[in-house]
Chains A and B, each alone.
Chain A
């Protein structure tokens, strides 16, 4: 019998009105996969590209060989960064709703990604984030006021009000300017890593893109060049299931994103993106491998985008409203918190106290930032900066255009 021929168009598993049920995801247990030696031949760890590295089990205990055995003080620092990010996001979204920012993008549900991974790196490692890893800046100690000034695009915005909010750049923190075209930073990180190798430096580069962006040519450029030149780079696909309204099935079909790395001879690991410990551990492994001259690692960070794509998006139009609540890998903050509680090093009261402290810090920082100008009233970057930094020095035609504007 011939199968009836028709174009196959995938669909999201659940749409508005459906009840999300992720029972079919077949999630491996925590501790199920062994941690290989960093000098392993990529061909020997192919199972990691189809599995899922998890450390925190259902009882919030750290299990298995991937357990990074981090000290409670370090875990508390991670919890603090993640909690701050969630509160910061919430406050900034509110400000956007009040018209005080033009635009915002939250990281809800993905807080562990940039924070655990960022904490596994050294300060000299070079970051090429997408727009959903602002947490890296908390890890590297960026001043909150500066971050808010960028989002307001006021006179203290270090990118001089030129980009939309959340397009951070922070030279001192080795965080390379974020741009809106998706995926472009991925192969740039590879080139940056090639330069580190060229100069004989020990640092690594790291980049992130989303599941949707993994369909761009830049994804292929990056993993191919990374493999060919054995660049000391860590390439992450943050698979949060959604690219705006488009389910990841439109980007990868049924395959895992990590599986793609195998064809390029890259060690490729899929990791529970809501498990702080697993993320830290896998990233440390990849960084150590890169520092030893063994080249790149592809990591698929398996998570769920808990919020709208951006402040310009309404996810109830394309997915069940409460889908995140049924996500089987839970909430990264809640999981790390419960792990610390299980160790006897934290309590719900501590968490409440922390949240209050951080909320006050964000409000105070916001007020401080507004002293440098607001979106509607300014002051913004001074007018002549419009013509600066297009080139190192403004050529004549730009100086003339500046005069034309009367400045």
Chain B
């Protein structure tokens, strides 16, 4: 066991799989010699060699398309897109090619590509260093979509994702890289060493995809969140005094619908929290499924607390970013009915 932040947990996961499987290779912009703009791949090139951890041209479409070709030819590439805001040049390769390869070839071909990409806001990143584009990918059959919220889950889920024979889009909430963040930007930044999930095994371990984690048990309202919002929702639950159950989804596809419905059937109420814009966001899917499966247990309409339907703003970031106050307000609202 070591104390790790999410950056170190990513690095440890990559180190573990590089060691274990000679077909794993890592590439992307600045990931090689320099070790990544967030240091996630620091030291890996010098440890494993230039051909296993290497820099790429500045070309997201090129990174994804060549990763697919490598995957077809037996490698297990881990491609990095420097910011998820820049994944869109590769959107065609991900949605039309990577996601459909196994299906369209009748199972003859597939590419076990993992795409790691920092996402989310709360870092003064403006339009293009803050986005949460997960819903574009959850809407694409053939992809798995994962977003951890702490160092322990990051390592276990990333190892599973890389070893999975299906393609995985692995979102890393960059606001959480160095420490948990509860949405209060005026507070001094916390480090992961204050958090129990900052303890990470040094050796190999994996966490299955499709299993949510109950972040805080409660009986009155279910709060669904993933990524940074897990911490915002948890703090909101504590300070509201409402006996809320906070669930960290961890993987969006496949989704742990059992844990969700079990909780909502128990509490009768549900608040969904995500950073991404509301319209057609993943919260819409969660809300629809809960309505279908828990209709007779619901005591109140499901409420979504999300980013607004605007591009992610720079100076007005904290008006956009779902705050503890907004989550508390939503919990109170569902408790009233």
**Known contacts A169-B104, A188-B65, A198-B75; can you find 20 more A-B pairs with CB under 8 A?**
A162-B103, A171-B109, A179-B100, A179-B104, A181-B92, A184-B92, A190-B69, A191-B66, A191-B71, A191-B73, A194-B66, A198-B70, A218-B65, A221-B65, A224-B57, A225-B57, A388-B107, A390-B103, A390-B142, A395-B210
Contact present for A195 and B254 (CB under 8 Å): no
Contact present for B69 and A191 (CB under 8 Å): yes
Contact present for A228 and B102 (CB under 8 Å): no
B157 neighbours in A (Cβ, 8 Å): none
A391 neighbours in B (Cβ, 8 Å): 102, 142, 144, 166
Min distance, Cβ B87 to any Cβ of chain A, angstroms: 15
Give A407 to B273 CA distance when docked, in angstroms: 36
Contact present for A177 and B101 (CB under 8 Å): yes
Q: 30 A-B pairs, CB-CB below 8 angstroms?
A: A128-B69, A157-B106, A159-B108, A169-B105, A169-B109, A171-B105, A176-B109, A177-B101, A179-B96, A179-B104, A187-B66, A188-B68, A189-B69, A191-B72, A195-B70, A195-B73, A195-B74, A199-B73, A199-B74, A205-B69, A217-B89, A218-B61, A218-B65, A224-B62, A225-B66, A388-B107, A389-B102, A391-B166, A392-B166, A397-B254
**Does chain A have a CB within 8 A of B214?**
no
**Does chain B have a CB within 8 A of A259?**
no
How many residues of B sit at the interface, in one of the four size bands?
35 or more
Min distance, Cβ A49 to any Cβ of chain B, angstroms: 22
Give A195 to B63 CA distance when docked, in angstroms: 13
Interface flags for B247-260 (1: CB within 8 Å of A; 0: not) read 00000011101000
B72 neighbours in A (Cβ, 8 Å): 126, 176, 188, 191-192, 195
Interface flags for B17-49 (1: CB within 8 Å of A; 0: not) read 000000001000000000000000000000000
Contact present for B65 and A192 (CB under 8 Å): no
Min distance, Cβ B153 to any Cβ of chain A, angstroms: 19
Within 8 A of B (CB), among A151-198: 157-160, 162-163, 167, 169-171, 176-177, 179, 181, 184, 186-196, 198
Min distance, Cβ A25 to any Cβ of chain B, angstroms: 34
**Does chain A have a CB within 8 A of B67?**
yes
**Given A191-B70, A195-B70, A196-B73, are A389 and B106 also a contact pair (CB < 8 Å)?**
yes
How many A-B residue pairs lie within 8 Å, measured between CB atoms? 141
Interface flags for A121-150 (1: CB within 8 Å of B; 0: not) read 000001010000000000000000000000
Contact present for A192 and B104 (CB under 8 Å): no
Binding site for B on A (CB under 8 A): 126, 128, 157-160, 162-163, 167, 169-171, 176-177, 179, 181, 184, 186-196, 198-199, 205, 217-218, 221-222, 224-225, 228, 388-392, 395-397
Give A186 to B65 CA distance when docked, in angstroms: 8
Give A225 to B65 CA distance when docked, in angstroms: 10
**Does chain A have a CB within 8 A of B51?**
yes
Min distance, Cβ A193 to any Cβ of chain B, angstroms: 7
B75 neighbours in A (Cβ, 8 Å): 195, 198-199
